[in-house]
Structure 1
Amino acid sequence: MGSMNYEEFVEACKDFESMSSKFSDGWELVTVSEPTSSVYLKKKVSCVKKSVKYNPPGVADAAEQDKACEDGDEVVVLENGELSEIHDPSAVSEEGEGELLTYDYHIVYSIAHSVPVLYFNAYNSSGKLLTLDEIWDSIPETHKEQVLANRWESLTQQEHPLLGRPFFQLHPCGTAKLMTLALEKTGPQTISKKEGKYIASWLSMFGPVAGLVVPVEYFK
């Protein structure tokens, strides 16, 4: 029940792109003609990696802070491996200049596993790709132990199936099982495999490992 065929993936991507447009979340549906006509979703995010101490007004516990990365030119902070949106610059105490990183996220269909797969790359300000070791090191602390315990079966570098270039990939082997549990919990009538909420639900489970957080607006 947690898997989907390619036609369902295409419909879900179209719906997810429409939802993203409403929330100005930056996802775009792309069509490629070779080697076969296929679609994928993409989104770019720019972040500043720096050491900070952030105490927003009215928030006593840092764990209560929203972790999100904004599109465009707005600068956010990569704090302790997690992307944190900074609303009030006066609440930030910075150490060092920090490093500008650009994340390029792609959602691609896996024919072998019949599920969406998250591919991504990360670049520094000079355009140099981060290494696999640097990507492993950047995994948020809440996910790092689990991922690094099975690193070669969790997050590795693979060839992008549509672009033929090296990308980092979150392995899809457990996706169908996790989505089956999610659909059983919410009910198949609540999340249709042809709707953007399927993509949003899947991305909310896998995205945070790569520093990507799904806005709650998708689930309202």
Structure 2
Amino acid sequence: MSSITFEEYLEAAKIFVAKSNWLCDGWSLKQHKDDMQMTYITKQSFIQHNEDKKSVLLKIEYNIFYHLSYGVPAFSFNVWNASGALLSLEDIRKMSFVQINQKDFYSVITQQEHPIFQRPYFMVHPCHTEELLAMFKKDSRNIIVTFLSLITPIVKFNLPMEYGL
């Protein structure tokens, strides 16, 4: 197995955000002045979702932070409807790009207290991230891009192809 160090995560995050700035994609780096390990990258956006034959606008917030226990990047997000109500875990499952049964989905996506924000967020469970990234780490130009490309089908996240160039 091959986890990454916080320093490797931070370097990849800085490069990722610089590429995002070049692409005008909206990611930003948030560094905690007293505790660097609370550094994360974030993006807020709106997405169109088709629900019951009508299109609805949803607000979404994405965060990538370093998971100290697993030694890997971790992905968290929240989604709100137009009235400001947080979507449920089942709503998130129904929005996924891939059809996945409830039991399997809930083993990958959980809702728990965010270690930085101290409030509930949906999270891609990091338990298998280390082994997935180990397969690609040697050939990866940026571990954040590699990580995001692995999870995009599950969380309906659009990663522009230009990040891989």
The aligned counterpart of 1:208 is: 153
**Is the contact between residue 27 and residue 41 of structure 2 (CA under 8 Å) also seen in structure 1?**
yes
Q: CA RMSD in A?
A: 2.0
TM-score by length of 2: 0.90
Q: Secondary structure at the match of 2:39?
A: strand
Distance in structure 2 (CA, Å) of the matches to 1:28 and 1:212: 17
Number of matched residues? 164
The aligned counterpart of 1:132 is: 89
**Is the contact between residue 80 and residue 86 of structure 2 (CA under 8 Å) also seen in structure 1?**
yes
Residue 177 of structure 1 pairs with residue 131 of structure 2: yes
The aligned counterpart of 1:75 is: none
Distance in structure 1 (CA, Å) of the matches to 2:30 and 2:134: 27
Larger relative contact order (Cα-Cα within 8 Å, sequence gap ≥ 6): 1
Q: CA deviation at 1:49?
A: 1.8
**Is the contact between residue 9 and residue 143 of structure 2 (CA under 8 Å) also seen in structure 1?**
no
Distance in structure 2 (CA, Å) of the matches to 1:14 and 1:181: 23
Q: CA deviation at 1:33?
A: 4.5
Q: Secondary structure at the match of 1:217?
A: helix
TM-score by length of 1: 0.69
Q: Secondary structure at the match of 1:173?
A: helix
Ranges in structure 2 where 5+ consecutive residues have no aligned partner: none
Q: CA deviation at 1:24?
A: 1.3
The aligned counterpart of 2:9 is: 9
Q: CA deviation at 1:99?
A: 1.5
Distance in structure 2 (CA, Å) of the matches to 1:213 and 1:205: 12
**Is the contact between residue 32 and residue 162 of structure 1 (CA under 8 Å) also seen in structure 2?**
no
The aligned counterpart of 1:191 is: 140
Distance in structure 1 (CA, Å) of the matches to 2:75 and 2:143: 14
Counterpart residue type for residue 96 of structure 2: I
**Is the contact between residue 2 and residue 178 of structure 1 (CA under 8 Å) also seen in structure 2?**
no
Q: Deviation above 6 Å: which 4+ runs of structure 1?
A: none
- Between the aligned residues of both structures, percent identity stands at 32
Ranges in structure 1 where 5+ consecutive residues have no aligned partner: 52-79, 81-94
Counterpart residue type for residue 66 of structure 2: Y
The aligned counterpart of 1:108 is: 65
